[in-house]
């Protein structure tokens, strides 16, 4: 498969009055054509900042991209000026956010909002753009007769479907979805997820799905990257991550979700909190919360290494630098 997006060593910092926040540290990721990559982690792990970096929406004070490359189809998009980036957004890369209301304008009908995006990016007349907008609404299963309604007349799930229609209106090569189902109630979440799965099979759009929910990942992703404190700590295929998770943090994430096939009396959330990004621990950033941590983990940083084809992790246990100990699966 051809690489669509390749991020290499992306580093993003925020220079605030309270100090430097290291939001994203040397993150490397690849999304192949037609593939869905899930980025998983707790709040504050740097997932959204990574996505905003790809969208060209972070590089202004106090945020700064301090290193790395973002290659889209072999072009380093960090070299583009603001005008060129604006053209890229919507046409090549689109993003949908957690709260659909932030993306919708309450004073315009939904068809007008989609048609505007289409008209801005494609050389289409008003009528044609409107017709295409109605087709997009139908694609996300909103009947044409509701096209001339306003956002407040729609339920939460329908609003998110409108947002997806806007994001897909110009056939982007990459769709970034940031917790697209989190603000919705459970049944509606399932419907939106179903819709995204359907779009994935029908369109050629590649997706980057940001979530804290491993259930969502298992439904839709081909590849998975686990983020902790601004870094990728493990990445691999869906199967690698679900069948053979390596990093203690990944195993902790699995341990903190209910398994409907097992009788679990209580969940075991990972103890401790995500570290303050302006005061990150030395060595392995997970060491204050890790059951397997040894002195070495607090002074040296493990390497991000490949342990089987395409399956990477960042932990001394696998480098053989700690006394042989097996990380328990789904701890």
Binding stretches for ligand SF4 (CB under 6 A): 247-248, 284, 286-287, 290, 292-293, 297, 302, 315-317
- As measured in angstroms, the least distance from the Cβ of 314 to ligand SF4 is 7
**Of residues 261 and 326, the one with the C-beta less far from ligand SF4:** 326
- As measured in angstroms, the least distance from the Cβ of 38 to ligand SF4 is 20
**Of residues 194 and 306, the one with the C-beta less far from ligand SF4:** 306
**Of residues 14 and 292, the one with the C-beta less far from ligand SF4:** 292
- As measured in angstroms, the least distance from the Cβ of 296 to ligand SF4 is 7
- As measured in angstroms, the least distance from the Cβ of 289 to ligand SF4 is 8
- As measured in angstroms, the least distance from the Cβ of 14 to ligand SF4 is 25
**Of residues 133 and 233, the one with the C-beta less far from ligand SF4:** 233
- Contact between 48 and 229 under an 8 Å Cβ cutoff? The reply is no
**Residues making up the chain, counted from first to last:** 331
SS3 of residue 66 by DSSP: strand
* 17: number of Cβ within 10 Å: 5
**Of residues 132 and 311, the one with the C-beta less far from ligand SF4:** 311
Closest CA to 110 of 54, 51, 164: 164
- As measured in angstroms, the least distance from the Cβ of 172 to ligand SF4 is 36
**Of residues 157 and 283, the one with the C-beta less far from ligand SF4:** 283
- As measured in angstroms, the least distance from the Cβ of 267 to ligand SF4 is 21
Both tokens of 299, joined, read: 């002074």
Work out the widest C-alpha separation in the chain, in whole angstroms.
Answer: 69
| CA-based R_g, the chain, Å | 21
State whether the Cα torsion 207-210-216-218 is positive or negative: positive
Q: DSSP label at 10?
A: E
- Between CA 238 and CA 311 the distance in angstroms is 10
**Of residues 175 and 290, the one with the C-beta less far from ligand SF4:** 290
**Of residues 71 and 293, the one with the C-beta less far from ligand SF4:** 293
Q: DSSP label at 331?
A: -
Helix, strand, coil shares, percent, the chain, to 5: 35, 25, 40
- Between CA 114 and CA 250 the distance in angstroms is 39
- Between CA 286 and CA 263 the distance in angstroms is 29
- Between CA 14 and CA 24 the distance in angstroms is 10
- As measured in angstroms, the least distance from the Cβ of 321 to ligand SF4 is 8
Both tokens of 30, joined, read: 């690849």
Q: Does 62 sit behind a cis peptide bond, omega within 30 degrees of 0 on the bond before it?
A: yes
């Amino acid at each position: 498969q051809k690489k669509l997006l390749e991020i290499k060593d992306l580093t993003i910092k925020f220079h605030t009055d309270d100090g430097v926040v290291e939001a994203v540290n040397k993150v490397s990721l690849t999304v192949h054509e037609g593939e869905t990559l899930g980025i998983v982690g707790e709040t504050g792990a740097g997932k959204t900042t990574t996505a905003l970096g790809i969208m060209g929406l972070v590089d202004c004070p106090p945020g700064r991209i301090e290193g790395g490359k973002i290659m889209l189809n072999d072009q380093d998009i960090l070299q583009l000026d603001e005008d060129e980036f604006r053209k890229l957004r919507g046409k090549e890369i689109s993003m949908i956010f957690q709260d659909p209301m932030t993306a919708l304008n309450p004073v315009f009908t939904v068809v007008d909002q989609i048609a505007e995006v289409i008209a801005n990016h494609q050389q289409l007349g008003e009528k044609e753009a409107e017709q295409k907008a109605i087709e997009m609404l139908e694609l996300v299963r909103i009947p044409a007769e509701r096209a001339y309604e306003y956002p407040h007349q729609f339920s939460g799930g329908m609003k998110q479907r409108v947002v997806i229609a806007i994001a897909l209106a110009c056939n982007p090569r990459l769709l970034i979805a940031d917790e697209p189902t989190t603000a919705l109630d459970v049944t509606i979440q399932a419907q939106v997820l179903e819709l995204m799965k359907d779009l994935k099979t029908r369109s050629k759009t590649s997706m980057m799905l940001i979530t804290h929910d491993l259930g969502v990942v298992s439904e839709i992703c081909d590849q998975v990257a686990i983020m902790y404190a601004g870094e990728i700590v493990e990445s691999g295929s869906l199967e690698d991550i679900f069948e053979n998770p390596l990093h203690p943090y990944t195993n902790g994430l699995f341990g903190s979700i209910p398994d409907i096939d097992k009788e679990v009396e209580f969940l075991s959330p990972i103890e401790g909190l995500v570290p303050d990004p302006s005061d990150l621990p030395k060595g392995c950033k997970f060491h204050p919360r890790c059951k397997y941590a040894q002195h070495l983990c607090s002074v040296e940083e493990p390497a991000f290494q490949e342990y089987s084809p395409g399956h990477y992790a960042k932990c001394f246990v696998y480098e053989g630098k700690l006394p042989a100990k097996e990380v328990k699966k789904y701890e």
